[in-house]
Structure 1
Amino acid sequence: MASISSLGIGSGLDLNGLLDQLNEAERGKLAPIERQIETQQVKISAYGELQGALSGFQSAANALNDASLYQSLSTSVSGEAVSAAATADASVGSYVVDVETLASAGSYATARLEGIESIDEPVVSSGGELNLEFTHAGEEGTSVPVSIADNASLADIRDAINAEDAGVTASIVNDGDGHRLALMSTETGREASITGMDWSDLTKADGVSFSETAKAVDVVGENALLNVNGIAISSATNQVEGAIEGVTLNLNQEGTSTVAVEQDARAVREAVVGFVEGFNALKGTINELTAFDGDAESAGELLGDSAVRSIEGRLRSVLSGGVAAGEGGFSMLNDIGISLKLDGTLEIDQDRLDSVIANDQDKLSDFFAGDSATGGLAGQVSETVTQLSGTHGALGGAISGAESRIESLNERYLRMEQSIEATLTRYRTQFGQLDGMIAQMNQTSDYLMQQFDMMNAQLGRD
């Protein structure tokens, strides 16, 4: 608050300094409210950290709550001829893949164009349709027309072809003695192969012709040839689907590879380990937020917080409660090699878990995923976290409560500020009145002293 500089002029008193001291003393009443607001803000930040850890654990639980996880397959490939990827439709087994020939794209180059020195000189005088032919060995194929303008150059024709979705890319080749228009099929395989061009609808420019000696070059595209477990297969592309049900083969080179399709034990194991690590990370966050160091006299932001105790209790109850299991099924975490330690964290018996994943994935699926969204342990954990984080849950309610307290404290702070300002305004008025009164008294005193001095001087002359 700014001081009024004229205060004290009349009385000679340091009323500005006194008013500043009173202002500081009054504003000291705001400090407890500020500390309470800061405490609630720290709590909200800590709740946010806890919420993040809970969300991470829930994500790990959701991964285990997906029944398709336990049906996923993986492929392993020996040899460099192919690579492979399997879907859930694949069947477990081993397949020998022998790649005889890779699929290739066809190409076609015109005869050398004579009568032009530059690719920008007109090649045709009258435009029309240039037909790209996809025909081979006398078989009836397809023809794709490309519109060519009057007086088009070789460069113009190339650009017109490339502007169309014609199934080829065009370029210009200089063979050392002249120019040719070269086309390459954009797809591999015999049926997609470009095999010729029909210029009959175009009129060549004067002096322009195709060479009789440097003739057109036609390289036919080929299908990939392979066999799987002795069965011959032809494919227009090097990505082969359907040769093995549910498996996509990518042909890399000629040769032989063995493709093994098996249950994806690694994905299941990573999901289970992620679940344990997610819970242990949550437990670590809770320990940090509720820690107390007697030597340093420091405490975590949520030490003694009831919401934290409720969260720990609910999760411990779910994890230790298990699920209802059918005959021979798993009902407790201990059954699959996961135990709850004395410090509250989870621990994995690696050998037991590996055995379960290798031999009992169906039972593992029943245990974690169940037959409904919340039928398995993972679903129960996820649902519990959702409830805890909801508006009426332990964590959601704690966050809402802290936010409400901050709002209430901010209102109280504003009212207190207004009260302090009113008090200081009253002090300013009173100090101003005091300053004026003392100034008036000083003036009266000075007047009386002057009168006394005059009287004394008069008496001295008499």
Structure 2
Amino acid sequence: MAAISSLGVGSGLDLSGLLDQLEKAERMKLDPITTQKKTQQTKLSSYGRLKSSLTSLQAAVKTLNDSKTFQGVTSNISGSGATAAAKSDAVVGRYAIEVGTLAKAQSLATTGVADRTVDLGEGRLTISVGSGPAAKTTNIDLAANASSLEDVRDAINKANGGVSASIVNDGGATPHRLVLTSTATGKASEMTVSFTPAVGAEGGQLAGLLGYDAALPAEDNSMTQTVAAANATLKVNGIDITSQSNVVEGAVQGVTLSLSEPNSSQVLTVERDNAAIKSAVTGFVTAYNSLQSTISSLTSYNADTQVAGDLLGDATLRSAQSQLRNVLTGTLGEGALTRLADIGIELELKGTLKLDSTKLDSLVSGNLSALSGFFGGSSAEGGMAGQLGTVLNSILKDGGALSNVTKGVESRVKSLGERYTRVEESISATVERYRKQFTQLDMMLSEMNATTSYLTQQFDALNAQLKG
């Protein structure tokens, strides 16, 4: 008998539909696992939200615990002849800046040659930048077949000896001139140039092109000084200052001046960066209130809908909240300011913080050292920010409370996933066993139906003969 290609064809029964119903019933075993896994994944997401809020608060607390936060300054300079950038060690005050001359880099130029690609002679080019023990000397050997003006330019630039080289076309009969420029400004970066022909060589044109020494009369130098090296000169509150560079550091403590216009006057004002300090405090309040909002959402309960927050009653969350509240309600500072209320921050009944900006402004402008001490402190325990930072580090560190409970949930999610796979494989095996049994049943019933039909035909034929 031919194999049955579709369940129920041989028997006439809806075995395929019955198999579908059995498979559906079997797969219901997966529903509890799916529900448990979804619950754990939701809890894992909730721990992620809690960690994110705690990390934001940790960053805000770290800013308040940094003494540099309360030492920041801003600088403002009038006019367009100079700009200023102040660091935290700048001294608050007003400074009169008078720019005299700008620093310049020395430039030297050769006489012209007709062809910039023609070789000009073998030998050694020596360039010194500066004088005395601090001088930087570079020796460049030029081969006879690689000594064109272009070759000399490229060799100088490749040497990185504090000199840049270029070729200028002046439009004359012999237009190509090699120009050397010191890469640094100031008289300390003046150049000395000499060329020594190779032994046995005539030296070619280079011997008559390359040569400069400031100690010699101009007529004895092969090269012409087109720009003289110069130092920047300026006055700060009437005190004369000389600088090798147009970027002047140290003339005003903690301030870098960038000069751009000679014979100009400016007024530099250095002030405490009160806006940054207030921003740090308000940033802490905002981060803490955001954390409280997250906690409220995760632990809420709606009596009407009977829907609870994902972490309602969670021990790790309650512990973190309790530790932070204990710090905020304890004695925090070490000086005149000892409580949050002293700096204009009230801890409200609903757990959030409320900032009195007027009170904070008064402290920032009138008692900054006390405010800094309140947050940063000076002892090993530290002020409010130090104590909060210790608690937050304990909660958030690897191996801390939040890390451990998160890893536990992740482990349960993984375990449930593996269990789901095992049960699904078991269901597939069971359904396949049902399929084989139904196939055998279908074939057996098909054979019985065929036998019944045959016997019925034989009995009908026998009856017909007996009646005849």
TM-score (ref. length: structure 1) = 0.85
> 2 CA distance for matches of 1:92 and 1:387?
39
Change (3 A) 1:18 1:90: same
Change (3 A) 1:360 1:416: same
Change (3 A) 1:278 1:162: same
Task: Give the number of equivalent residue pairs.
Answer: 446
Query: Residue in 2 aligned with 1:449?
Result: 456
Aligned-residue offset at 1:162: 0.9
The farther-off stretch of 162-171 and 238-247 is: 238-247
> 2 CA distance for matches of 1:281 and 1:388?
17
Q: Identity over the aligned pairs, expressed in percent?
A: 46
Contact kept in structure 1, 2:120 and 2:206, CA below 8 Å = no
Structure 1's unaligned 5+ residue stretches are none
Aligned-residue offset at 1:100: 0.8
1:270 aligns with 2:312: no
> 2 CA distance for matches of 1:153 and 1:225?
40
> 2 CA distance for matches of 1:209 and 1:385?
75
Change (3 A) 1:88 1:27: same
SS of 1:375's partner is coil
Query: Residue in 2 aligned with 1:108?
Result: 108
Change (3 A) 1:43 1:142: closer
> 2 CA distance for matches of 1:169 and 1:87?
33
Change (3 A) 1:198 1:207: closer
For 1:102-157, what per-residue CA distance to the aligned partner results, in whole angstroms no more than 9, with x for missing partners? 111111111223xx3x3112222xx1112335579xxx977543222213211111
Aligned-residue offset at 1:391: 6.2
The farther-off stretch of 62-71 and 155-164 is: 62-71
1:131 aligns with 2:126: yes
Change (3 A) 1:105 1:18: same
Name the aligned partner's letter for residue 379 of structure 1. G
> 2 CA distance for matches of 1:458 and 1:371?
123
Contact kept in structure 2, 1:86 and 1:247, CA below 8 Å = yes
Query: Residue in 1 aligned with 2:214?
Result: none
Query: Residue in 1 aligned with 2:148?
Result: 153
Query: Residue in 2 aligned with 1:331?
Result: 338
User: Which of 158, 161, 165 is the equivalent residue of 1:163?
Assistant: 158
Change (3 A) 1:290 1:142: closer
Contact kept in structure 2, 1:112 and 1:215, CA below 8 Å = no
> 1 CA distance for matches of 2:105 and 2:206?
34
SS of 2:360's partner is helix
For 1:188-238, what per-residue CA distance to the aligned partner results, in whole angstroms no more than 9, with x for missing partners? 0012123x53234264548997699x9734421100111222221111111
1:189 aligns with 2:186: yes
SS of 2:29's partner is helix
Contact kept in structure 1, 2:91 and 2:270, CA below 8 Å = yes
Query: Residue in 2 aligned with 1:27?
Result: 27
1:240 aligns with 2:248: yes
Contact kept in structure 2, 1:188 and 1:221, CA below 8 Å = yes
For 1:245-287, what per-residue CA distance to the aligned partner results, in whole angstroms no more than 9, with x for missing partners? 3333222323222333443333322211211121122223334
Name the aligned partner's letter for residue 188 of structure 2. E
After superposition, the CA RMSD in angstroms is 3.2
Name the aligned partner's letter for residue 140 of structure 2. V
SS of 1:199's partner is strand
Query: Residue in 2 aligned with 1:221?
Result: 229
Aligned-residue offset at 1:408: 3.3
> 1 CA distance for matches of 2:412 and 2:183?
67
The farther-off stretch of 330-339 and 277-286 is: 277-286
TM-score (ref. length: structure 2) = 0.84
1:120 aligns with 2:131: no
> 2 CA distance for matches of 1:207 and 1:57?
70
Q: 1:14-413 to 2 correspondence within 5 Å?
A: 14-113=14-113, 116=114, 118-124=115-121, 127-132=122-127, 134=129, 144-151=138-145, 152-177=147-172, 178-194=175-191, 197-201=193-197, 203=202, 205=204, 216-254=224-262, 255-290=264-299, 301-302=310-311, 305-323=314-332, 325-326=334-335, 329-372=336-379, 374-390=381-397, 395-413=402-420
Name the aligned partner's letter for residue 51 of structure 1. K
Structure 2's unaligned 5+ residue stretches are 211-218
> 2 CA distance for matches of 1:119 and 1:390?
68
User: Which of 439, 442, 446 is the equivalent residue of 2:446?
Assistant: 439
Aligned-residue offset at 1:416: 2.6
Aligned-residue offset at 1:431: 1.9
Change (3 A) 1:175 1:27: same
Name the aligned partner's letter for residue 234 of structure 1. T
The farther-off stretch of 103-112 and 40-49 is: 40-49
Name the aligned partner's letter for residue 181 of structure 1. L
SS of 1:222's partner is coil
Name the aligned partner's letter for residue 290 of structure 2. A
Contact kept in structure 2, 1:65 and 1:373, CA below 8 Å = no
